[in-house]
Amino acid sequence: MMYSEKVMEHFMNPRNVGEIEDADGVGQVGNPVCGDIMTIYIKVKDDVITDIKFKTFGCGAAIATSSMVTELVKGKTIEEALTITNRDVAEELEGLPPLKMHCSLLAEEGLKAAIEDYKKKQERKIRDSRIQG
């Protein structure tokens, strides 16, 4: 088996699979040609990621890194979450085969995309409330 036990464990029993209907931020990354597409949903309260879910089309590593990144991030502040890199995800999974490192990048990027979406929405909300106010 080319994957670590930890990867397989997350792949077989992924955490936080699903969608969040009223998510505060949604990020989708990936590329159909390469065969990995990841969508990450976050709920944020007082700058803390209170809930996070994912949906992933992809290989074992893509699913395991999706699962791992959601676990790493849950309960963390936005600021803390932004410091998580793909290497952290891979390390928590006890390593990834070299050819699969790009999947861990996907997880990092997916999370960042969701946070960016959240920030944009926040800005819009603030702008909207200013206009209203």
Partner 1 sequence: MGNLIYLDHNATTPTDPRVVDAMLPYFNILYGNPSSIYSLAGEAAKAKEAARESVAKLLNAKPQEIVFTGCGTEADNFAVKGVAFANRAKGNHVITSKIEHHAVLNACKWLEKQGFDVSYISVDKYGGLDLDELKGSITDKTVLITIMHANNEVGTIEPIKEITGIAKDNGIYMHTDAVQTVGKIPVDVNELGVDLLSLSGHKFYGPKGVGALFIRKGTKIDSLLHGGHHEGLRRAGTENVPGIVGLGVACELAMEEREEEEKKLEALRDRLEEGITRSIDDVIVNGHPKMRLSGTLNICIKYVEGESMLLQLDHEGIAASSGSACTSGSLEPSHVLRAMGISPILAHGSLRFSMGRGNTARDIDKVIEVLPPIVSRLREMSPFGKDKEKN
Taking the complex as a whole, the smallest distance from the CB of residue 47 to partner 1 amounts, in Å, to: 27
Taking the complex as a whole, the smallest distance from the CB of residue 101 to partner 1 amounts, in Å, to: 13
- The reply on whether position 12 binds partner 1 by CB under 8 A is yes
CB 43 within 8 A of CB 49: yes
For partner 1, which stretch binds (CB under 8 A), given 50-58, 84-92, 115-123, 124-132? 50-58
Q: Please choose, from the candidates 6, 113, 112, 8, the residue with its C-alpha nearest in 3D space to the C-alpha of residue 59.
A: 8
Cβ–Cβ contacts within 10 Å for residue 41, how many?
24
- The reply on whether position 34 binds partner 1 by CB under 8 A is yes
Taking the complex as a whole, the smallest distance from the CB of residue 2 to partner 1 amounts, in Å, to: 6
Residues 88-127 binding partner 1 (CB under 8 A) are: 99-100
Query: What is the CA angle 115-55-74, rounded to 5?
Result: 45
Among residues 59, 78, 82, 105, the one that binds partner 1 under rule CB under 8 A: 59
For residues 127 and 113, what is the distance between their CA atoms, to the nearest angstrom? 21
Name the active-site residue from 2, 12, 34, 126: 34
- The reply on whether position 8 binds partner 1 by CB under 8 A is yes
Taking the complex as a whole, the smallest distance from the CB of residue 94 to partner 1 amounts, in Å, to: 16
| Residues at the contact surface with partner 1, assessed by CB under 8 A | 1-3, 8, 11-12, 14, 17, 28, 32-39, 54-63, 99-100
